[in-house]
A and B are shown apart, each in its own frame.
Chain A
Amino acid sequence: MAEYKPIRKVVSGNYAAAYAVKHARVEVVAAYPITPQTSIIEKIAEFLANGEIEGLEYVPVESEHSAMAACIGASATGARAFTATSAQGLALMHEMLHWASGARLPIVMVDVNRAMAPPWSVWDDQTDSLSQRDTGWMQFYAENNQEVYDGVLMAFKIAETVNLPAMVVESAFILSHTYDVVEMIPQELVDEFLPPRKPLYTLTDFDNPIAVGALGGPNDYYEFRYKIQKAMEKAEKVIHEVGKEFGERFGRDYSQMIELYRTEDADFVFMGMGSLMGTVKQAVDILREEGYKVGAAKVRWFRPFPKKELYELAKSVEGIAVLDRNFSFGQEGILFNEAKGALYNTDAKPLIKNYIVGLGGRDFTVNDVRKIAENMKAIIDKGELDVEVDWYHLKR
């Protein structure tokens, strides 16, 4: 194994994704432009134009629906396929997301989290990706540009091991267009980590032709669904292994599906996903100095959902403040809903409160975390919730 000497580049989250696509030796990219995703596919096109990528076919499709359909065709033919999208584009793809997982194709996609219209918004919000919860896609939420890069490389490895597609999610503008130092991995080491794809099946064995996706009657369909669930369960183990391997090779450990930050002796923790957790970690440091015994729990993988890790965490704390940059209308924040559901049949019963924050790119600061901490402390002291779901930023 060659020695790992990282290559440091100052790049946007989108460029980090593009570099990861290049380093992963993706064979087919099919994509359609949508703000704020576009600079990913532009950067990939630039690599091609400059001769920096070889062996990649770039298909500039006429819609996101076709982007996913083309990736599906490419992946079924045995190629490593990638696309990227955002918000309305992801919603347009929705039908084909089911097709990708149903056909067990390890496509990797970057979704730049953006709020759904109307009103038009191009800013950060997790409802687009979380609306794809039940499509059979794995979902990884990146906190920073480094995690976008690392996430894409790991997603391919995990996806190709369990034969399910994976989504790497980054925040609109907060990550997509903000430059930061990213440690990139030399190509030969990426090649060692991520060897060429070995497909479950391909459409190119002409001596033994197959038909994929045919009608499945009531006697068969059910088992197809069960196998997707088994693959999701397997993915938990694979995520752990691949995340650990990544840590051993490159120094950044991703073996935990929930990254815990200063939670060992915490009275209560802030739980959330994506870039807002960077703010939360910073706030935790400050709050610790101010005497709050708090920690952060960053949910990296939303699908498969880290039930076991959540249970272990929930047993050790008195309260969990779930920060949702998303909402399921008629109910509550989506991560909150999932977390409560996961703990219901367990003996872990911390107070769990839902804070709806940052929708449509509303600024979320260290000060906001402090206010939430004050509120959490008060309800824990009292032993009961004031409200279950708090629309934290609402102009009252």
Chain B
Amino acid sequence: MEIPENVKKRLSIPADEHFYAGHTACQGCGASLGIRYVLKAYGRKTIFTIPACCSTIIAGPWPYTAFEANLFHTAFETTGAVMSGIEAALKAKGYKVKGEDGVMVVGWAGDGGTADIGLQALSGFLERGHDAVYIMYDNEAYMNTGIQRSGSTPYGAWTTNTPGGKRHFLEKRHKKKVIDIVIAHEIPYAATASIAFPEDFIRKLKKAQKTPGPSFIQLFAPCPTGWRSPTDKSIELARLAVQTAYFPLFEYENGRYKINMPSTKKEPKPIEEFLKLQGRFKYMTKEDIEILQNWVLHEWEKLKKLAEVFG
């Protein structure tokens, strides 16, 4: 589509598309929007590593690919390791890696492949300081295998292996704070992002590109199939997750924390607003909601404190 000159100037999101129509994502898929933005930000001079996850098939079965960038599909737990090898090979062969004109090495993995089975390889990748970007798209369960809980599944969520029944068997643990684990590696740049705030996401992707060393972005990406939510509510849900401080957007840069949103001056919206649009939380009792609400506010206060002290 031709964009008039005067409009183009105002866009902070690149107009170029490198994610082809005809990919096989579900309707309302947050992850596919994420891919589109990453490709917009980095363009074709990019090498993706994708482990077992929804994106394996979103990209298309052999011989197809919806990515206009090189892509290596790999085993579930190996994203951090494979991208390390790619980065090392590029350097051995004399390519410029990262930076505005360098090759972008991107790991694109779901929450299960990051928070659980891939955590060790992620840790190794971070600790060794490779010039690459790891993006965890967080849809809070193993969606491609049929909606099983992951370490990133929130308290009270229905999944197929934490179902709601007579004895109320639901996820009893809070979401694993992967970004905190990442930050403990003291990498130069880590951030959370959301598909509801693409300008913010693109800005963070660009910052990750400019920052030498390993970067990490945890992208909140709703999944209508797994969340039992209407397919036209994905953006709204992603926005509510931020507004309720359930998934606040912040950056960690060389030891400093900066909260992007929600506003630290206002009370976050009640968590029910986020929960009520989704079938996965329908088994929660009032007490369950209170437990989750308290956790969200507690974590929010912690983050505010971090931003205050280390801002």
Q: Which residues of A pack against B, CB within 8 Å?
A: 27-28, 30, 55-57, 59-63, 65-67, 69-79, 81, 95-96, 99, 103, 203-207, 209-217, 220
Contact = CB atoms under 8 A, between A and B. Distances in A.
B84 A70 contact: yes
Interface of B: 44-47, 49, 56-57, 59-65, 67-75, 77-78, 80-93, 95, 103, 120-121, 123-124, 127-128
Contact of A70 (B75, B88, B123): B88
Contact of B124 (A61, A79, A210): A61
A77 B93 contact: yes
A79 B93 CA distance: 7
Contacts of A99: 74-75
Contacts of B78: 65-66, 69, 72, 96
Contact of A28 (B80, B81, B92, B128): B92
Given A30-B88, A209-B67, A59 B128 contact: yes
Contact of A212 (B57, B72, B83): B72
Given A206-B44, A214-B56, A69 B121 contact: yes
Contacts of A212: 71-73
Contacts of B65: 209-211, 214
The interface residues of chain B, by DSSP majority, are classed as: mixed
Contact of B64 (A57, A67, A76, A214): A214
Contacts of A61: 81, 84, 124, 128
Nearest to B65: A211
Contacts of A96: 75, 78
Given A77-B47, A79-B92, A211 B73 contact: yes
A57 B61 contact: no
Contact of B92 (A55, A66, A205): A55
B70 A81 contact: no
B84 A77 contact: no
Given A59-B128, A62-B123, A220-B62, A73 B72 contact: yes
Given A61-B84, A66-B78, A73-B83, A205 B60 contact: no
A28 B88 contact: yes
Contacts of A204: 47, 70, 90, 93, 95, 103
A70 B81 contact: yes
Shortest 3 CB-CB distances between A and B: which pairs? A73-B85, A70-B85, A62-B124
Which one of A57, A78, A213, A214 has the highest number of Cβ atoms from chain B below 10 Å of its Cβ?
A214
Contacts of A65: 77-78, 81, 121
B71 to A, nearest CB: 4
24 contacts: A28-B88, A30-B84, A56-B92, A57-B91, A57-B92, A60-B128, A61-B81, A63-B124, A65-B77, A69-B85, A70-B85, A73-B84, A74-B85, A74-B88, A76-B72, A209-B71, A210-B70, A211-B67, A213-B72, A214-B59, A214-B60, A215-B57, A216-B62, A220-B62
